[in-house]
Chains A and B, each alone.
Chain A
Amino acid sequence: METATLNNTSPKSNFKSEEYFINMGPQHPATHGVLRLLLTIDGEIIKKVEPDLGYIHRSIEKMCEKDSYQQIVHLTDRMDYLSSHINNEAVCLAVENALELEVPERVQVIRTILGELTRLSSHMLWWGVMGMDVGALTTYFYGFRDREMINDIFEETCGARLTMNYNIPGGLMHDIHPNFVKRVKEFIAHFKTKLPEYDRLLTGNVIFQKRTKGVGILSKEDAINFGASGPVARASGYSCDVRKYHPYSALDKVNFKEALDTAGDSFARYTVRIREMWESLSIIEQLIDNIPEGEHKVATNAVIKLPKGDFYQKVETARGELGVYIISTGTKNPHRVKFRSPGLSNLSLLNHIAVGGKIGDLVATMATIDIVVPDIDR
């Protein structure tokens, strides 16, 4: 470990500044779960960040190998629990593609609406926690107040608030609840008045802007090199929205803009997510009034056997690109399942962008990367 000397002291002075380690986590308010960051610090300035993973590893990929394809879906709820609905959808799409199963249009539209609601709820939670990480504790409660409405929608239709497991290969577990459309419309009307308030409370705030602008800058090249995806990559100008380039479900039927920024700093990542919330609202608005009639699922065999081969499906979760890779040997269990989670690759660039900043910068940067630790560890 090299020790830096203070440059501006007189030659006679033998004061030296020494680097030291601190353990941020696994129990730390800013690591959002059981992530351990080994920081090398010189005073307040960060020299090195080493994420230490594995505190919540549950070997989901291995568990998938003994489960049937219907059962795999519910395990994905527990990866990125904030976009569980999109995770479910990814596995279902992979299985359906492998079976060459055409799901009804109604299912596709409902899946898209629920996916965007999930994205909204995830971003709302992120917004609250972002504010909390930079010290504005009140945002947390405002974010959760609005998220509650989405959770109620989920609970009424899917039966659970967080781990929905509503998608099954071949469609949806039940049809949507009769109140679904009404509640979603209520929510949209409510949230359209609250989202500008988010801006007034936090986005415009001079302290918040000073804390985030020019902090944790990620260039477009680095975003691509590190395999970043989602809002983190889009804030650096890397257009990578899976919903745009490989539309799935009903996403090819809607118009939306990919939120892009070029600054690549924490504030850009923040504004990209705020703009994504507006886009999600507009997607839901386009679809909610014309959910086609029809069945809520197509019948599959009770034991699903995938044909021999490799199957890959990627979706855009709230954090970025989630890939599901299934190798099947033709039996009722997959031979191998691999989840390409957005959290892991987004976290990998933390050391790259946080070095040179202060401890406060690291916290703000981590908040805008928006990690969910079970998604990283799986």
Chain B
Amino acid sequence: MKILSINEWLLSFMPAGAASITEMVLIALIYLTVFAVLGLYLVLLERKVAAWFQLRLGPNRVGYKGMFQTLADALKLVSKELTGTVKADKFLYNLAPYFVIITALMALSVFPFTENLQAFDINIGLFFLIAISSIGVIGILLGGWGSNNKFALIGAMRSGVQTISYELSVGLSLLTMVILTGSLQLSEIIEVQKNGWLIVQGHIPAMIAFMIYMISGTAETNRAPFDMVEAESELGAGYHTEYSGMKFAYFFLAEFINMFIIAAIATTVFFGGWLSPFGITESIPFMGIFWFLAKTFVLVFLMMWFRWTFPRLRVDQLLTLEWKYLLPINLVNLVLMAVIVWLNITIQF
């Protein structure tokens, strides 16, 4: 509604083309601001959650209960010197953080936060998301390659191996759900779920798909127990060893925004996106944002819980898990889901 009136206001004094460009810029700015803040608060959330798991208090000095801790950290990182190694491939080295952060921000544009609140409702939404999220790994590879550091290089190579493998599982588990929805468009996927969330509609295969998705999604974001790429006890800091200041912050923020993206995809595909449970707040406008964020943060918390409980896998075990366990199960699950849809034994309200 509001966007519509801004549109009319802009059209009143500029031509249609200029107006649409201005709108795009405005929307991009809003998204950037929202997600910079979101990234910062995800970092804070992670630190708080980690502290609570580990019998600590977490940040509690800057602002009320540490509310501005990560903001202060970001300011500190901005003010820091950007160092680099001597024989680094300067161009690739400087390019890498932008690859990571831009793909993370691009992926965010397609999510329907609530009814009609979606920047970009593309009809291959899910496909777009999978594609975009795997571009991020190029940034990691470039960063590891460009830094002229062996630890960074090992980290980057591990990242390449990991993403190539786990991309399959992410794609296949989402494909399993696409059989149910019959569409890749995110708004339509949510439309289908008005008859029950897909995890309920698809029951057993949907749950298996969800579990596989969460495992491989955690691996996609390079988080523990799949943090081969950073593996601080093995590689120090992995691919971002040589990055400092804001460039490091880009990698860091991208990791958290990627985590949000993975959780948001799971929310949209498995848990009904912005739909409220049993439609209890259907009549209240913009309540969808609350439900979307609530579901997403529950899944984000689940990923944090993984991280602060499990040991890290070894790099060959990582591949064993994917190729010997997740992928075969996923393929069988895909067939199972197809049979269920064919026999029409889904649960719908």
Q: Does a CB–CB distance below 8 Å link A and B in the complex?
A: yes
Q: For A177, list chain B residues within 8 Å (CB).
A: none
Interface residues of B in 298-333 (CB under 8 A from A): 308-317
- Give Cα distance in the complex from A133 to B227, angstroms: 13
Q: A44-B154, A207-B312, A359-B154 are in contact. Are A135 and B233 (CB under 8 A)?
A: yes
B81 to chain A, nearest CB (A): 20
- Give Cα distance in the complex from A4 to B310, angstroms: 35
- Give Cα distance in the complex from A141 to B150, angstroms: 31
Contact (Cβ within 8 A) B310 A360? no
CB-contact partner of B234 in A20, A136, A360, under 8 A: A360
Q: Mark interface residues in B229-247 (1 if CB within 8 Å of A CB, else 0).
A: 0011111100000000000
With both beta carbons as reference points, the residue of chain B lying nearest to A209 in the complex is identified as B311
Please count how many residues in chain B sit with their CB below 8 Å of the partner chain's CB atoms: 28
User: Is B53 part of the binding interface, using a Cβ–Cβ cutoff of 8 Å?
Assistant: yes
Q: A29-B236, A358-B315 are in contact. Are A137 and B150 (CB under 8 A)?
A: no
Contact (Cβ within 8 A) A141 B55? yes
Q: Mark interface residues in B21-59 (1 if CB within 8 Å of A CB, else 0).
A: 000000000000000000000000000001001111000
Give 8 A-B pairs besides A138-B53, A360-B231 with Cβ atoms closer than 8 angstroms: A29-B236, A30-B234, A135-B225, A136-B312, A205-B310, A207-B225, A211-B312, A211-B317
- Give Cα distance in the complex from A246 to B313, angstroms: 41
User: Is B224 part of the binding interface, using a Cβ–Cβ cutoff of 8 Å?
Assistant: yes
CB-contact partner of A363 in B154, B224, B233, under 8 A: B233
Question: 21 A-B Cβ contacts within 8 A?
Answer: A28-B236, A30-B234, A44-B158, A134-B233, A135-B224, A135-B227, A137-B224, A137-B308, A138-B53, A138-B309, A141-B54, A141-B56, A142-B54, A201-B309, A207-B311, A207-B313, A210-B313, A211-B313, A360-B312, A360-B314, A360-B315
Contact (Cβ within 8 A) B150 A138? no
Interface residues of A in 154-213 (CB under 8 A from B): 201-202, 205, 207-208, 210-211
Contact (Cβ within 8 A) A359 B234? yes
Contact (Cβ within 8 A) A363 B234? yes
- Give Cα distance in the complex from A201 to B151, angstroms: 30
- Give Cα distance in the complex from A133 to B233, angstroms: 5
- Give Cα distance in the complex from A141 to B55, angstroms: 7
Contact (Cβ within 8 A) B314 A358? yes
Interface residues of A in 108-152 (CB under 8 A from B): 131-138, 140-142, 145
- Give Cα distance in the complex from A29 to B54, angstroms: 19
A350 to chain B, nearest CB (A): 15
User: Is A22 part of the binding interface, using a Cβ–Cβ cutoff of 8 Å?
Assistant: yes
Q: For A359, list chain B residues within 8 Å (CB).
A: 154, 234-235
User: Is A361 part of the binding interface, using a Cβ–Cβ cutoff of 8 Å?
Assistant: yes
Contact (Cβ within 8 A) B317 A210? yes
Q: Mark interface residues in B136-169 (1 if CB within 8 Å of A CB, else 0).
A: 0000000000000011001000100000000000
Q: Which of A135, A140, A358, A361 has the most CB of B within 10 A?
A: A135
- Give Cα distance in the complex from A141 to B52, angstroms: 11
With both beta carbons as reference points, the residue of chain B lying nearest to A133 in the complex is identified as B233
Contact (Cβ within 8 A) B312 A138? no
With both beta carbons as reference points, the residue of chain B lying nearest to A145 in the complex is identified as B55
Pairs A-B, 5 closest by C-beta atoms: A135-B312, A141-B54, A134-B311, A360-B314, A136-B311
| Binding site secondary structure of chain A | helix
Q: For A29, list chain B residues within 8 Å (CB).
A: 232-233, 236
What residues make up the interface of B, taking CB atoms closer than 8 Å to A? 50, 53-56, 150-151, 154, 158, 224-225, 227, 231-236, 308-317
- Give Cα distance in the complex from A290 to B231, angstroms: 49
Q: Which of B227, B311, B314 has the most CB of A within 10 A?
A: B311
With both beta carbons as reference points, the residue of chain A lying nearest to B54 in the complex is identified as A141
Q: A22-B151, A208-B311, A211-B313 are in contact. Are A132 and B233 (CB under 8 A)?
A: yes
B324 to chain A, nearest CB (A): 12
- Give Cα distance in the complex from A2 to B224, angstroms: 36
Q: A22-B150, A358-B316 are in contact. Are A202 and B311 (CB under 8 A)?
A: yes
Q: For B231, list chain A residues within 8 Å (CB).
A: 135, 360
CB-contact partner of A30 in B227, B233, B309, under 8 A: B233
With both beta carbons as reference points, the residue of chain B lying nearest to A208 in the complex is identified as B311
- Give Cα distance in the complex from A205 to B233, angstroms: 19
Q: For A210, list chain B residues within 8 Å (CB).
A: 313-314, 317
B135 to chain A, nearest CB (A): 25
Contact (Cβ within 8 A) A138 B308? yes
Q: For B225, list chain A residues within 8 Å (CB).
A: 135, 207
A139 to chain B, nearest CB (A): 9
Interface residues of A in 309-330 (CB under 8 A from B): none
- Give Cα distance in the complex from A344 to B308, angstroms: 33
- Give Cα distance in the complex from A145 to B158, angstroms: 34
B6 to chain A, nearest CB (A): 47
A192 to chain B, nearest CB (A): 19
With both beta carbons as reference points, the residue of chain A lying nearest to B158 in the complex is identified as A44
Q: For A141, list chain B residues within 8 Å (CB).
A: 54-56
Contact (Cβ within 8 A) B54 A138? yes
B246 to chain A, nearest CB (A): 24
- Give Cα distance in the complex from A29 to B225, angstroms: 18
Contact (Cβ within 8 A) A361 B314? yes
Contact (Cβ within 8 A) B311 A131? yes
Q: For A137, list chain B residues within 8 Å (CB).
A: 50, 54, 224, 308
A215 to chain B, nearest CB (A): 9
- Give Cα distance in the complex from A30 to B224, angstroms: 17
Q: For A205, list chain B residues within 8 Å (CB).
A: 310-311
Q: Which of B150, B233, B235 has the most CB of A within 10 A?
A: B233
Q: For A145, list chain B residues within 8 Å (CB).
A: 55
With both beta carbons as reference points, the residue of chain A lying nearest to B161 in the complex is identified as A44
Q: For B227, list chain A residues within 8 Å (CB).
A: 135
- Give Cα distance in the complex from A360 to B228, angstroms: 9
B208 to chain A, nearest CB (A): 18
B84 to chain A, nearest CB (A): 19
